[in-house]
Amino acid sequence: MSQSRKATNSIDPELEEYKDKYYQDLRDGRFKVWHTDEILKCPYCPESRDYSHSDLLRHANRIVKESRSAAFKDKARHLGLVEYLERNLDAKNKGLKSASEIITPKHDSNEERFVWPWKAVVVNIPVVLRYGGKYSGDSGKKLKEKWEKQGYNPLKVHTPWSHLGHSGLAVVEFGSELDKFSNALKFVKDFEVNKCGRNDYRDRGRCKDDKMYAWMATDEDYNSTGLVSDYLKKNGDLKTLSVVQKEIETKNKKLILGLETLIDEKSKKTEEIKSEISKTDSELVIVKKQKEIMTENFKRGLELMETEKHEQLQQISFEHERRKKQLEELKILEQKKADERMWKLAEEQMREKEKLHHRIIELQKKLDEKQRLELEIEQMKGAVEVMKHMTDEDVEAKKKMDLIKKDLKDKEEELEGMEALSQSLIIKQRLSNDELVDARKELISGLTEKSARALIGVKRMGELDKKPFIAAAKINGCGKKDAEKAMNLASLWEKHLRDPSWHPFKVIAVDGQSQEIINEEDEKIRSLKTEFDKDVYDAVITALNELNEYNPSGRYPIPELWNNKENKKATLKEGVEYILKQWKTHKLKKR
């Protein structure tokens, strides 16, 4: 059973039923398939062209298996046709038999038969007896090249050899096509013109010469015996020219039928592809329209989004400007409040300072009075001691002593009152001093962000000035690496300054008082003085002295109120006066 018949076992039962029906119709001759012994036509395809048995079977299988446009019944009909063609082996054999009769028809006994593919026989090729008793002559390759140059175009030249060596014979092969037969005829005709044909070879008798003789290989050579006959029987058949022509015609006809079948199949496939393309084009048109609609909707959406975005940006911008104005107003209001607070603070500090000044004057007076009283008390105590040693008869002296004792007691009571008042004033002075310290801190906090060019500002005492390091780097080289090196050196000395364990000071006596100065014998100080210029040295020493004065234990910079114009510590009065001046100037500008 064939592969096609095996495949039908798994088809749809309904399709199988229709297939059997159409097969029976074909078997009973209701539809004509065979139009001649060789030509078949499809009974189900209108205007069917001519097919061979194999081409029609291939056509039916294609409709069943590959066609997408074929209807259900068309597939069933062609499936029945496949079954009919596969089972009708007698009809197929009959077609093959008819074809073989066409290919090998009976030939006329008088028509000359040639060896096919076309061959020519060459004899009397010159040979030479070599040492060892064997003959040698031109090889087939050499002879082929020779005759190619002469325009005969042989495909191959075979020179048979025997036990005696080169036989002096050759079989020249030209091919199987008709144009190759012309080449072979031309080859032997040229030999015949030169009296070197088959008959000429026979007529020479026993006379030997060195000429080569050639003729077409025919049944005479084929049916003889010898090396040439053996080669011809092995590599060819006997055929007349008419048979070869008919074979070629039959072959061409079959080729044409096959090509027509292929063309028909390709045409049908092309139609199917065109149909699919048409459907695809229709779908493409729909898709394009949908795309245009989507694009249009997208554009509208984008325009709407752009409009909304523009409106939102305008709203945001408006809101931003409104809030900016509010913030500016709030800032102005806060600045005004801060200025007023500063003004009030400055006035309060001035009043407190005046009160403190008066208190200090008053306290000084009280201290003077206290010292006077203490002196009088001491004098009275001395007088009392003197009176104690006087005699009892000195009544006037005793009276005077009693008066002095009474007066001493009054003075002691007055002294106790003065001491109590003095303690109260000292406490008040301390409180005032604390208030002044807090006021100074408040001023420092308020003036921290002021420009360095302002008259009164804040200086961080003990902070290392890095400008000399950068200036030194610029003098030594202006590269980026030099600047980085300068910053690294400044950071290193800043680290040394923060180190509480490094205390390069020594104590000396100046006018009877102890004073700390830089110990220039210190290893780091000597290194600083040797390796760097004076500006760098001064910057480090200044920072070191400031740290020792303001924060010797913590060794970190302390903010201080500073008079930038005179380059010295500013008093609280100078700071307050500067703030009042700034506030008045700002107030006048607003007006």
Reported as a single tens digit per residue, the pLDDT across 389-443 is: 654 546 666 676 677 777 777 777 777 776 776 676 667 666 666 666 777 777 7
Of all residues in the chain, the percent with pLDDT exceeding 90 is 5
Residues 6+ apart with CB under 8 A from 346: 576, 579, 580, 583
302 and 222 belong to one structural domain: no
CB 94 within 8 A of CB 62: no
CATH number of 181's domain: 3.30.70.2890
Q: How far is CA 350 from CA 44, 354, 357, 432, 576, in A?
A: 126, 6, 10, 12, 8
What are φ and ψ of residue 271, in 5° steps? -60, -40
Looking at residue 489, its pLDDT comes to 86
Lowest-confidence segment of 1-5, 80-84, 509-513 by average pLDDT: 1-5
Question: Using the 8-state DSSP alphabet, how is residue 29 labeled?
Answer: T
Which residues make beta-bridge pairs with 239? 114
- Give 118's strand partners: 175
Q: Are residues 198 and 275 located together in one domain of the fold?
A: no
**How high does pLDDT run on average in the chain?**
79
Residue 250 has pLDDT above 70, yes or no: yes
Quote the pLDDT of residue 162. 86
Residues 377, 408: contact at Cβ < 8 Å? yes
Residue ranges of E strands in 223-310: 237-240
**Can you tell me the mean pLDDT for 238-244?**
86
Number of domains in the chain: 4
Q: Is the domain of 253 the same as that of 370?
A: yes
Distance in angstroms (rounded) separating the CA atoms of residues 233 and 335: 128
Residues 73 and 218 in one domain: no
CA nearest to 185, candidates 238, 119, 242: 119
Residue in 238, 224, 221, 249 with CA at minimum distance from that of residue 107: 238
In a domain, 276, yes or no: yes
Kindly state whether residues 90 and 142 are assigned to the same domain. Answer: no
d(CA 31, CA 485): 108
Q: Is the pLDDT of residue 451 over 60?
A: no
Q: Which has the minimum average pLDDT: 270-279, 365-374, 421-430?
A: 421-430
Q: Are residues 255 and 396 in the same domain?
A: yes
Is residue 72, in this structure, part of any structural domain at all?
yes
pLDDT value for 425? 61
Domain enclosing residue 200, as ranges: 118-235
| 217 and 275 co-located in one domain | no
